[in-house]
Amino acid sequence: MATDNTKKAPAAPKKEKRSLKEYMKGVRLEMRKVIWPTKKELVNFSVVVIAVCAFFALGFWAVDSAVLATLREVLGITM
């Protein structure tokens, strides 16, 4: 005689729907909490991002060129 003793999980409580006006008030409130970077920080961060992107671009280019050269040698491909 098999009995099923599993219980169903309780349903998640339904979220209260809010108006667009209330949503925008919440967005405005959260935007006031943001600590915006200074101009100097923004320039420094931008330079770092550009430098890292350039570094990885050159790295990927080098690896791609090496793989292509290896495949040309192994498979005897000419262009």
Residue predicted with more confidence, 56 or 6: 56
Check: CB of residue 3 under 8 Å from CB of residue 11: no
Q: Is pTM, for the whole model, over 0.85?
A: no
What is the per-residue pLDDT for 59? 98
Q: What is the mean pLDDT of residues 29-44?
A: 96
Residue 18 has pLDDT above 90, yes or no: no
Q: Please give the share of the chain, as a percent, with pLDDT higher than 90.
A: 70
